[in-house]
Structure 1
């Protein structure tokens, strides 16, 4: 199965369930950038429950701006704040130390464009998962995806479907219960090498 979806900031479980069950992955990179999507946000499990991490971006004065052209607002110290949030949330998880050294450079080295940064995050997660994929990026925008399954709707943070994913142990689940469909980092830090098996056993429609 060939699929098309948006590169997002440390994609959530639904994105990765679609990805691991695909034969070929096409990333939508020629669309317009929209606010309130997973393009520049992800959710983790903090001590007080679900916690959003947002990458600040520079919005054009024009109405429309291509995703590939959107720059990160690196004047804000967002990388340091996000890394501290991850440390606070996951340093006691079973596998955080296992991946920490690979992930930390993402939060120290500046990248200019949000699309480039998201693709870097994606590649690093695939390395951590030991997941080999065939991927490409779009060159033009097509409203209707032909010859491929369209998962671009997964980018919408405000209109999210309810997914019946299997539970796994999360750091603060004794306080707040199981929170589904968080960032892939939540699964990785809690399940480690078993994360890929977990993803392959889940389904989304």
Structure 2
């Protein structure tokens, strides 16, 4: 029997996130009750650009409570971050082999306003799994579990920690000649550059 994989709901997650899913065929549990931690992939992603790695961060509404469950974190629209993110993604990937192939799938996320970060990230995750042809059952957690006894990647997939994705397979990137290969950036980098072959690199 396959062990469920426990993950956080991340924004356009890094390649290592999908490596964890691809290598473990069980149900994918998404933690909706963890306290929202700052400076993680929950609200930011890395893309490869002509000038190196660019961080894209989703602004959130800051309430009085310090500890807010992930499912209750609201997105802020005080400035037009959607236009900025989509413009940055277009600039970085419009010359990639498969950007036009997937463009219409991702554009609505930068046009429609989601109230909650968790819902935004989860809907993107469902789309990406579909595009990667990784059929997985997604389930939301029913309570917070600090010490999960199965496969727990909530804290190990982190911008400031070494990738759990060891010995990554290099693939062609648009700006590789200028910046060198950039490992473990957002999964959209792999999708836009490799298209239907992306699954082979996981």
Normalising by the residue count of structure 2, what TM-score does the alignment of the two structures yield? 0.94
Residue 194 of structure 1 aligns with which residue? 197
Q: Is the 8 A contact 1:15 1:154 kept in 2?
A: no
Question: Is 2:96 the counterpart of 1:118?
Answer: no
Residue 96 of structure 2 aligns with which residue? 93
Q: Is the 8 A contact 1:39 1:155 kept in 2?
A: no
Question: Is 2:155 the counterpart of 1:171?
Answer: no
Residue 7 of structure 2 aligns with which residue? 5
Residue 23 of structure 2 aligns with which residue? 21
Question: Is 2:50 the counterpart of 1:59?
Answer: no
What is the CA-CA distance between 1:161 and the residue it aligns to? 3.5
Unaligned runs of 5+ in 2: none
- Distance in structure 1 (CA, Å) of the matches to 2:75 and 2:157: 18
Residue 105 of structure 1 aligns with which residue? 108
Please report the RMSD computed on the Cα atoms of aligned residues, expressed in angstroms.
1.2
Deviations 1:52-88 (Å, cap 9, x if unpaired)? 1000001221221111111000121011101100110
Question: Is 2:106 the counterpart of 1:130?
Answer: no
Unaligned runs of 5+ in 1: 200-205
Report the secondary structure of 1:60's partner residue: coil
Q: Is the 8 A contact 1:8 1:155 kept in 2?
A: no
What is the CA-CA distance between 1:51 and the residue it aligns to? 0.6
What is the CA-CA distance between 1:150 and the residue it aligns to? 1.0
What is the CA-CA distance between 1:159 and the residue it aligns to? 2.5
Runs of 4+, deviation exceeding 6 Å: none
What is the CA-CA distance between 1:141 and the residue it aligns to? 0.8
| Change beyond 3 A, Cα 1:159–1:28 | same
Question: Is 2:162 the counterpart of 1:160?
Answer: yes
Number of aligned residues: 198
